[in-house]
Chains A and B, each alone.
Chain A
């Protein structure tokens, strides 16, 4: 009976249902644009608190995959679930795919935060209004409480002094940090990042990556699409390589980046290394 203690602790772990440990479950997602198959039967599972980075050449489908998670893009086959609840489509009793009502889709989206490549802040609102708009109007949170939380989040990303500014007056990096705060204001269970530094001047990239690092440290579940390889290595628990609409390989950062198993990944990294140094 040497393992009584570990038996007891492993039993305790088993009491927590396996579902809750998986924050994002994508199974068999397929999408085509006309004749072009953008996603081919892609399945991805992300644990709570895990940071998954998706890399791959342009046109590999990685951005489309991200946008399918909260149904910004529609897909013909497959089911996506976040925190145990289906997003967009569910399976009925006969295992057929059924689209959810618009209201349910909107509710599901509240749990998913997303930050885009082109900041997408609302230009006619101030920073504060940008952040509180959804909590107040969608969730019904009292304005005072929403504003207090907004200030907290702005402090977290280091922009407390920009509360009353309009986005047009902020730099790209600042706008992106506000976008992160705005997404966080809805208390999402998972955060998606779609090449959020690609449109930024190089010197502004660091501040955004720092904010994302902090989020990861705080235990947020994150799916990040990026070109920044060194950042991928720093932040990822797992790196996923996509090409041509399929997941070619995935694994721990050091393993995938330095001793990849497939030739496609090697070729991609070789091309990358010729221009940069990881």
Chain B
């Protein structure tokens, strides 16, 4: 358990470079899945074959490990000729998985805002679009912030699995450094601290957002 300042001085920039990739992956996944998850959720709540496909999609991605999904995208796609880079495969796999999870979050939020709100609005003579815009959607947004925050933290942590397909995000960088030096403890400490910072920022961001919305209402 050494504490070698020279080592740390060289380690930190390398870790931060990896963290950059981690953050890139996380932000892109989050942004894409906000939309993709909504699409899946809408498809799921519609009627007809689309609903069945969306439902099956959600169940499949929720009940298979991310790692297997990563391997299928990275190795499987290249096998049939659609080879993607590590980063792109990672992004695709993360989006596929989190799209399913976010769709469930949207569904939960929509269900929670009670039918009565809809009925009350209609009774007041509101037209459907106004009703959705001023009553339903603000409440749904407020309700999904906590699970969305949790999902963001989940996404940040899941990016670490992309190390398995040799993408130089933070976990992979750490692996390389551990294998080439004896300072395992310092590397661990550095990685742990940076991840904690990232997840704490996400968590605080979510809470701030919640509070701002509470005032706006």
A and B touch in the complex (CB under 8 A): no
- Tell me the B residues contacting A by CB distance below 8 Å: none
- Tell me the A residues contacting B by CB distance below 8 Å: none
